[in-house]
Structure 1
Amino acid sequence: MKYQTKRKALILLADGTIFYGKAVGDKEGTAFGEVCFNTGMTGYQEIFTDPSYFGQLMVTTNAHIGNYGTQEDEIESDSVKIAGLICKNFSYDYSRPAADQSLKEFLDKNNLFAISDVDTRALVSYIRDHGAMNAVISTDVNDIEALKLKLKAVPSMEGLELASSVSTKEPYFVGNVDAKFKIAALDIGIKKNILRNLAKRNAYIKVFPYDASYAEMKAFSPDGYFISNGPGDPEPLQQAIQTASDIIANDETLFGICLGHQVIALANGVSTYKMHNGHRGINHPVMNLVTGKGEITSQNHGFAINREETEANENLEITHVHLNDKTVAGIKMKHKNVFSVQYHPEASPGPHDAEYLFDHFFEMIQKKVY
């Protein structure tokens, strides 16, 4: 379906800068969030449903979005998690035979407001120079002062706890109940493909809410523990940090990804900080310092752990480094079966260079348990 007349729309950044575009479809709308960009050429459906993006206005740098439609199996959670979409060219038609519906139908079903016809190169360049910040996208182009007042009331991502907004409310199970391994996973924004990667390695997983204690997880009698990715600032997640500390203190096998990586660092006394504009894309280069091999990785995070504090911590070793800016991309504890990475080995979307980390997790479990 094509729309001949498009409503005017704008992007108003927290510093007062304005970019203009047109509303996708024919509806009016307004959405607030932290503006960020993803450089992936494919995988928009997985990105839009990734809980790690909760509360963010997503700018896609690829020139065309929607051209291959959407497919029911290509989601990472039960709904769209981004706050709004900003793109250059929005394709109302799609050409992939395997698609279930158009991206427009998918976004309408999830009640997501999107704008297109934006000079995304100029917008991304501005964000790169001035950093991620709150913004509003809206068709209410004639009352900018009112939008500015509403935007001022939107809380900063720094200090914002969002895991409770995306975590499961009740525990649930994934995989074969007769599987060889049992994994207790702390859901602070978990992606479905992480659970698929655990399950296909002969694991039965019990997924726990973000505020579950070590005692609650231990009652499942798991062979290993996992802390997921997720949105927001890690430092307010005091219960998750305590749970990680208890898991570590009891010599359990533990693996963390992204927000889970930051939680494990905080449990070891290493602080985190908000990055200038974060890492979001599917071609981020990482060096594995243990093997000396490079990896192309999928990344999605706006916070990182302090490198100087990590290097000074006698219990930690840096295992992976981001080659673009030398930020810490992976750590392990020297005398514990604990490790974590600041990227997505399950990819989805992205390369599979780092999928070996799941194998490493189960190798650690097997050496300790069997």
Structure 2
Amino acid sequence: MSYYKRDKRAWLVLSDGSVFEGYNFGCEGTTIGEIVFTTGMTGYQEVLTDPSYYGQIVLQTYPLIGNYGINSDDMESEKSWVNGYITKEWCEEPSNFRNAKNINEFMIEQDKIGIWDVDTRAITRIIREHGTMNGAITTESFENNKEELLEKIRAFKVVDPVQAVTRKNKGWYYSQVNRANHVALIDYGYKHNIRRMLLRLGCNVTVMPANTTIEEIRTLNPDGIMLSNGPGDPAENVQIIENLKDFINYGKPIFGICLGHQLLALALGGETFKLKYGHRGMNQPVKDVTMDRVFITSQNHGYAVVSESIPEAVGQVTHFNLNDGTCEGIEYKNIHAFTVQFHPEASAGPNDTGYLFEKFTNLMERGQQGCL
């Protein structure tokens, strides 16, 4: 890939044959991925560095992206995982006291291809009406080989995404406000703010690879297990689901977020399905039926748990999405586990659903006192 030129043309090609012409930013070249849209007005840096977007070309529905720049504090992982980026406009001269570079410089640094000055509303409507589809961003002429490009687009598939984004070795992080809780955070593509929330609450955290076994958990002897977010179809993670059955029998408190929520449901006999275009953004209304309260949540997922697949004897649906009624949270019976589909660490409220982390730490402390 080569570097950005201000007047370089670029094209977005959808798998249905639609073509949108715009301008290139970031690097030049061709990239293929699953096109999804996210509705957040802010949080673009978190989007670009969230491993859950692995293999996807992300469209921002908010028209101006990059106006507060890029900084080192808001990274949700060490790098960007998106396959491409689509915006209406991007800001060349951001204004913020934390700004270190603009979004174009970040895209070049991360070797990512972007397109701007396209009709993002029209593209979003296509996805909403027809569902998530593959596409390509290219700065290369394809007039003579459009069919060849379309074949590649239609054949694209995200393969083993969790294995691609998970860490390979354990990582240890120590809280400055120690409440003596030790959490094993299983990394299916975790966002760093999950770790930050646990540290803030006085938990020491060991981040472990996705394929961690019960033998490794027993050796670590944590007070609780956190199942992180991550990319892809949860049902494809067959061995991870088997490992989770062992974690359940281990008896320590478990808290799952997003993919972790889906994986635990599958481990306990539930089912998942693919949403038409997913939930991505910071404005998803979720009702907590146990509190009889509605929260505005941050979400990023393309699959959901089938509520009816969780038997009453196994668990209770505690949260549901007010837009489409899908399952957003489960509390399990006879085991010390609960999960949510949304991201309580992402500060959408800004901190409304942070109570779930407190609930997890309280469960661990009760376990230390022999009260579980």
Shorter-normalised TM range: over 0.9
5 Å-filtered alignment, 1:1-370, equals 5-24=6-25, 28-141=28-141, 142=143, 143-155=145-157, 157=158, 160-176=159-175, 180-310=180-310, 312-347=311-346, 351-370=350-369
CA distance in 1, matches of 2:111, 2:103: 12
1:243: how far off? 2.1
Q: Which secondary structure state, in structure 2, belongs to the residue aligned with residue 73 of structure 1?
A: coil
Output the amino acid matched with 2:345: E
**1:34-77 deviation digits (Å, cap 9, x = unpaired):** 10001000010011100111111000011101111101111000
Output the amino acid matched with 2:327: V
Whether the aligned pair in 2 keeps the contact of 1:188 and 1:230 (CA below 8 Å) is yes
CA distance in 1, matches of 2:272, 2:211: 20
CA distance in 2, matches of 1:64, 1:21: 15
From the superposition, tell whether residues 161 and 313 of structure 1 become closer, same or farther in structure 2 (CA, over 3 Å). farther
Whether the aligned pair in 2 keeps the contact of 1:182 and 1:224 (CA below 8 Å) is yes
**1:143-178 deviation digits (Å, cap 9, x = unpaired):** 4223112213312x5xx4311111001111112496
CA distance in 2, matches of 1:22, 1:278: 27
Whether the aligned pair in 1 keeps the contact of 2:5 and 2:24 (CA below 8 Å) is no
CA distance in 2, matches of 1:180, 1:4: 53
CA distance in 2, matches of 1:301, 1:324: 15
Whether the aligned pair in 2 keeps the contact of 1:184 and 1:222 (CA below 8 Å) is yes
CA distance in 2, matches of 1:309, 1:270: 5
What TM-score, normalized by structure 1, do the two folds share? 0.94
Output the amino acid matched with 1:198: L
Whether the aligned pair in 1 keeps the contact of 2:283 and 2:348 (CA below 8 Å) is no
Instruction: Give aligned-pair identity as a percent.
Output: 40
1:351: how far off? 2.9
**Count of residues paired in the alignment:** 363
Whether the aligned pair in 1 keeps the contact of 2:183 and 2:225 (CA below 8 Å) is yes
Output the amino acid matched with 1:145: E
CA distance in 1, matches of 2:349, 2:277: 20
1:4: how far off? 8.0
Q: Which moved more, 1:244-253 or 1:112-121?
A: 244-253
**1:271-330 deviation digits (Å, cap 9, x = unpaired):** 1111100000101100001010111100000000112212x3521100000000000000
- CA RMSD of superposed structures (Å): 1.6
Q: Which secondary structure state, in structure 2, belongs to the residue aligned with residue 270 of structure 1?
A: coil
CA distance in 2, matches of 1:176, 1:252: 20
From the superposition, tell whether residues 348 and 111 of structure 1 become closer, same or farther in structure 2 (CA, over 3 Å). farther
| Structure 2 residues without counterparts, runs of 5 or longer | none
Whether the aligned pair in 2 keeps the contact of 1:42 and 1:349 (CA below 8 Å) is no
What TM-score, normalized by structure 2, do the two folds share? 0.94
1:15: how far off? 1.9
Whether the aligned pair in 1 keeps the contact of 2:175 and 2:200 (CA below 8 Å) is no
1:117: how far off? 0.3
| Structure 1 residues without counterparts, runs of 5 or longer | none
CA distance in 2, matches of 1:5, 1:41: 24
Output the amino acid matched with 1:21: G
Q: Which secondary structure state, in structure 1, belongs to the residue aligned with residue 283 of structure 2?
A: strand
Whether the aligned pair in 1 keeps the contact of 2:297 and 2:348 (CA below 8 Å) is no
CA distance in 1, matches of 2:53, 2:347: 14
